[in-house]
Every structure is written in C-alpha cells, then in structure tokens.
Amino acid sequence: MKRWSIGWKWSCPVLVLLAGWLGPGLPAARAATGTVLQGSTLYPRVVRLEHGSPQVYGRLVASTNGIIFQSSDNGAHWNLLGPVPTLGGSTERCCATLYELPQQVGTLASGTLLYAASYLVGQTPAIEIYTSTDQGASWAYQGTPVQGGDLNHGLWEPEFKVANDGALVMFWSDETDPCCSQKLAQIRSYDGRTWQDQSDTVRSTIPADRPGMITVSKLPDSHFFMSYELCGPAACTVFSRSSTDGWNFGDPANMGSKVQTATGQYLEHAPFNRWSSSVLSASGAILLVGQVMHESDGSVSPSNGKVLFVNTNTDGSGNWYTIAAPVQVPNAYDNYCPNYSSALLPASDGSSILELASDYLNGGCITYFASEAWNRLPADGSTHVFQSVQAPALCLDNTGWSTANDTSAELWTCNGAPVQDWTVHAQGNGWFSIQNQQTGLCVDNTGGSTAPGNKVTLWGCVGNANQSWQFLDLGNGTYKLMNRASGALMLDDPAGSTTAGTQLQIWTDNGLAPQQWVLR
C-alpha cells in the first residue's frame, strides 16, 4: 500500500467523509461505466457462497469499507445489509477483505464468512477478524491475529486462504518491522482462533521497497497464485509468485515475476486476482486487474482502466493478454479512488466476469458494478463474416475468389458475398481452422513462421498448426486469433490499415484494434 495524505491513515467514519470530498483537480462527474452500487464507498470485495447451506448456494455477498451488500441474482441487483460492527475501543481504518471458508477450520464451519480489516485499538494498529454464519446479516468478533506498530507504522490489507494442510492462512502488509518501509507477512491457524508461525512472505533487501496489497487465488491443481504491488523505487509495479501448498511462496527476498504482456505492457498499483474456468485451457485462467496500465516505455496506456490481464498458463508464468474490463475507469490514476483495488468474481462456469470498481461520482468515491460475458466460442461448423474492429468497413476476404494455394488473405469492403463467409472447425481448447465457404481454402500462417510480420495466405485445408487459430474472447463481443504454429502471434491488420486489399499478417500480441475481430 502506498501512503496517502488523506484516506488510508484515518478511521473508517472519516474515510467515508473523505470519500465525499473532492480535492483540487480531481474529476467531479461520473467517468466509470457500470451501475452505481447505492450506499457503497470504496475498496470493494465480493464472494459467491458455495460452501455453506445449499439453500443459499450462488448468493453473492459484497463489502465496501465495512458496509455489507447481498445479491440473489448473480450481481444484477444488490440489497444493503448494513455495516460490520466493531468492538468497543476499536476503530476500522480501511482495506478490508471478505472470504468464505471452503472447509471447516477448527470450530469455524465450512461456509463461514470472514471479514477482516485494518483497525486502531486505541492508538495501536491491529487486524481484527469478524465472522458471519448468516450470509453477512450479522457479525461476531473472532480475534486479533496481529497487533503492533503506531500511527505511522500500520498493519494493512489482510487476505485469507486455506492452505493444502488445512490451515487458515492470513497475509497482510506490515509497516512495523524496522527492516524496511513495508513487507508482506503471513500467519496461520489450525483452529480458527490461535495463530502461529508468523513469517515473511515478501521482504526486499532494498529498505525503501514497499510490497503490498496481496491477493491469492487457489488454482485447480491445488497450487496458489499470488499478486502484489511493489511500491517505492519500483513505483508500485505489479508482481506475482506461486506456491505448491499455500504456505511456502519461495525466498522472501525474491521480488517475484513482473506481470506483463508480450509487448511489455504492465500494471501499477492495487492489483487483485481471481481464478476462472476457461474454454481455452484445462488449467483455467488467472484474471488480474490493476489500477493503472502502462506501455513498455512507461507511458500511460490508451487502454488504461479499460482492460483486465489474463493468463492461461498453469501457474501464471509467461506473458499475459488483455480483455475488456466489465467496469471501465478510463481516467484511472495514482489516487485512492478510481479503479483502486477493484474486485473480480468469475461465474462458476467461467461464462462471465463480475467486477466491482470505484470511481468518483459528483464529488464522492463510490463503487460501480457490471458483468461481461466471457469464454464464448463459435459453434463448431458455424459460418461467420470476420469484420475488422480497426476498419469496420472491411472484412476478411479471399482475394479474387481464387482457389489457388498461396492466395492472399486480405481485407476488403464488407459486401455480403459468399467469399467473405468463413466456416470454423473446432480442434479443441478454443483452436479452430477457418475455411472459406466459397473456395474451400483455409487461413494459413505461411510456412508456419514464428516471425512477426509474416504474411497470412490461403491454402488447401490440411489441419496443421499453420492453419490452427485460437479464438480469444475479449469480453466485449470481439475476438483475437492466435496462430498455433507461430507460438503466440496474432492475426493482424498491418499498421492498422483501412485500405481495401491489405494483406493480413501475424504480429506480436499488443491488445490493439488491428488484432480484434467481430464475428457476424
């Protein structure tokens, strides 16, 4: 967590007042997309009930700075339940988490909701835990796993996961160790009340480094993926690491792997990740949102606040790609409100993504929500026109209606002719061949090249990797197409041409419109 001159170092009631204050130069009108979550503030979290009473399976519970909401229609509408009460003498400060226990831990039953946040007990920082067994309607104090520091050295941003050995693990950001400006720490409990084995998760050898804002997702192979920001000299860039057991995440002095796309786009500030099932991989996909997106040269990206990062590798290694964010906050910047620590919740079957994200609205900071369909694939044997997002008047075309091998795959004025109709043939895990309905030729990465800029042609259909394209649903009704033989290159309109007759190429994934296609 980055220290703010306002907001994060104050009690929750003051923070709510600050959410209604607007400093000089801050936007005064709504900028985010989505629907306003009435009665909310900022720092949203959301869970789907899956482990308690079958009567409430699928119900959603959300929080924004101590205020609890519930939805019974998968996040389309929300009811305000009220605040989480605090102990006498304690004052909630900020940055709460919400977690449903996936299994019993000591006396805590499976399905119990945990709420934890940063508090002041008198003048001493602490992280307190409250539990609910009635889906967030009422809460009871559970315990204080950690306490210490002072008004200038706090304990922040708790996060829970149950490790493979059944321990309830709590992670948090810790400013109280004189070793460094801030570190990430962890502690565990086997009975839900007593806590043990406090240790460092990420602790830099550079004293000014401030790793913070940790979130952890359990993956289907029982491994765990962790993301966090690294503030200080690294400017709050987002990093990641993984664990095979939910407790051991490697050498704390290793800062992990930088989260970035193939072209070097990266995120800064307040990351949040969740795992989703995916039609593209048996391992599913890791979804990640960050506050601000940058291009490889450090400039703020044109896609800033508009996209999520996605990784379909088993452990989140390798390059990420981008899809449309359900809630878009295009004016996101380094500030405690816009797109700050947004929350994601994929549908159980991966068919959609719910996002809760904050932004300013008429002088206050409030949360917005929206869902975006995702993980859609065209039906095997279905026929489509491929319309360019970059040049909407142009469509994928078989040049001159030719039936000869090595014919150019080009863009041409959309005209409804059969030569612009393409039938897709499924090959599994989102891979398809693309066959022209008129000529019978298939879209081909000529020679199976791995070189960006290689021309795309049409050849007789042989079902090889040159002619295999993975359809990546971008979540906004568009797709990008990755060629299997190329490694990870995309079908691309060279230089974003709007000229009819332009031959297509394969190019490094950059998330831009020349690589996006609407299937009509």
Domain with CATH 2.120.10.10 in the chain: 12-373
Domain with CATH 2.80.10.50 in the chain: 383-519
Instruction: State both tokens at 500.
Output: 């009819």
**Which stretches of the chain drop beneath a pLDDT of 70?**
1-30
The rounded distance, in Å, linking the Cα atoms of 355 and 343 is 6
pLDDT at 31: 80
pLDDT at 477: 86
Record: fold of 383-519: Trefoil (Acidic Fibroblast Growth Factor, subunit A) (2.80.10)
Instruction: State both tokens at 346.
Output: 């994929």
At 359-391, the pLDDT tens digits run 999 989 999 999 999 999 999 999 999 999 999
Task: Give the residue carrying structure tokens 């909407």.
Answer: 392
149 vs 156, 224, 482, CA distance in Å? Answer: 11, 30, 51
202 vs 120, 163, 242, 344, 485, CA distance in Å? Answer: 24, 18, 12, 24, 38
Report if pTM > 0.95.
Answer: no
In three-state secondary structure terms, 30 is: coil
CATH architecture label of 12-373: 6 Propeller (2.120)
The rounded distance, in Å, linking the Cα atoms of 424 and 400 is 21
